[in-house]
Amino acid sequence: MHKVDGVRDPALAFPLATSRDDAADRRQANRAVAVSAVGLGLTGLAELLIAVLTGSVGLLGDAIHNLSDVSTSVVVFLGFRLSRRPPTERYPYGLERAEDLAGIGIAIVIWASAAFAGAESIRKLIGHGHTSDVGVGIAGAVIGIIGNQLVARYKLAVGRRIGSATLVADARHSWLDALSSAGALAGLIAVALGQPWGDPVAGLAVTAFICHVGYEVTSDVVHRLADSIDPEVIGQAEAAAASVPGVVHAHARARWTGRTLRVEIEGWVSPDLTTRDADAIGRQVAQALSRDLPDAGSLTWISRAAPVL
């Protein structure tokens, strides 16, 4: 029986049973990105025209933020397209990470929007800028709220259904835009009540919302790129392996690449087993993992000889 340093065999990869249709998931993602881009583009243009008409800096910042989301949608779309490329010798895992890297683009857009909204709000607050046609401005803010809420809910539903962290992050960005529009609305109502400072103060409140969600999205993206994983996933993987007869002990690691959860399990088995029997146990572990951790997309099984006590 061949054994080197307690390792019976090189790491073996086992296919996992999955009901996920990756091609269908990508089609849903691309459709969600396209629909959201059109919806946000129309919403942003409507707000921009009204902002120019009324001179509302809160509404102007919200409009620019919405229009910047169109560029964000392009970044997300490119990430999904690149992630479709098959593995190569240089990129043995393919380009699934492109979806995660697209999240960086989303974070950059959010922080840039925060800087713009904050600068414009401070400028108007210091310069005592004037806001006209407040009723029209209020209507524009309402359009922004409705448009962003519809887009956010749609992208969030699709992102959760297909397990795309990037699409979920983009949905949070659209939800932020709805809050931004609500802030602009509050400022315009204050102006209508005779408080001209309401518009720039609302702009600063919008900036605070943007910074908060920007922090959350950036944190999620960094954790994903740094291979952070929910400890519960590791526990489920190790429990699945331990449930297989013949596995004395199991240690698991896992990481996300795009929407694929890759699991690696080191399993200690009896030193009396043949290599073929140890590999057969690995196949049983793959079946148990598919049953207990359906999100797993791939398994690498490494069998090791348990020490003789």
Q: What percentage of the chain's residues is helix, strand, coil (to nearest 5)?
A: 65, 10, 20
Query: Is 60 exceeded by the pLDDT of residue 21?
Result: no
Average pLDDT, the chain: 81
pLDDT, tens only, 90-148:
888 778 778 778 888 878 888 887 888 788 888 878 877 778 888 888 998 899 889 88
| CB contact at 8 A, 218 and 129 | no
Q: Which two tokens stand for residue 165?
A: 């962290």
Contacts of 230-236 spanning 24+ positions with Cβ under 8 A = 233/261, 233/263, 233/293, 233/295, 236/292, 236/293
Phi-psi region of 59 (alpha: psi -120 to 50; beta: other; left: phi over 0): alpha
- pLDDT level of residue 275 (50, 70, 90 thresholds): confident
User: What mean pLDDT comes out for the span 289-293?
Assistant: 88
Query: Is 60 exceeded by the pLDDT of residue 2?
Result: no
- pLDDT level of residue 22 (50, 70, 90 thresholds): low
Task: Tell me the CA distances in angstroms from 128 to 40, 124, 186, 307, one per residue in order.
Answer: 30, 6, 18, 78
Residue 127 neighbours by CB distance under 10 Å: 10
- pLDDT level of residue 239 (50, 70, 90 thresholds): very high
Lowest-confidence pick of 248-252, 257-261, 286-290, 300-304:
257-261
pLDDT, tens only, 33-58:
788 888 888 888 998 899 888 888 77
Look at residue 10 and give its three-state secondary structure. Answer: coil
CA distance 255 to 258: 10
User: What mean pLDDT comes out for the span 211-222?
Assistant: 84
Helices (H) and strands (E) in the chain, counts: 8, 4
Predicted pLDDT of residue 160: 83
- pLDDT level of residue 3 (50, 70, 90 thresholds): very low
Q: Which residues are CB-contacts of 89 (< 8 A; sequence separation ≥ 6)? A: none
pLDDT, tens only, 70-100:
776 777 777 777 777 888 888 887 787 787 7
Q: What percent of the chain has pLDDT over 70?
A: 89
Q: Which residues are CB-contacts of 94 (< 8 A; sequence separation ≥ 6)? A: 83, 85, 86, 87, 88
- pLDDT level of residue 263 (50, 70, 90 thresholds): very high
| CB contact at 8 A, 190 and 203 | no
CA distance 259 to 249: 28
In order of start, what are the domains of the chain with their CATH numbers?
Answer: 22-225 (1.20.1510.10), 229-305 (3.30.70.1350)
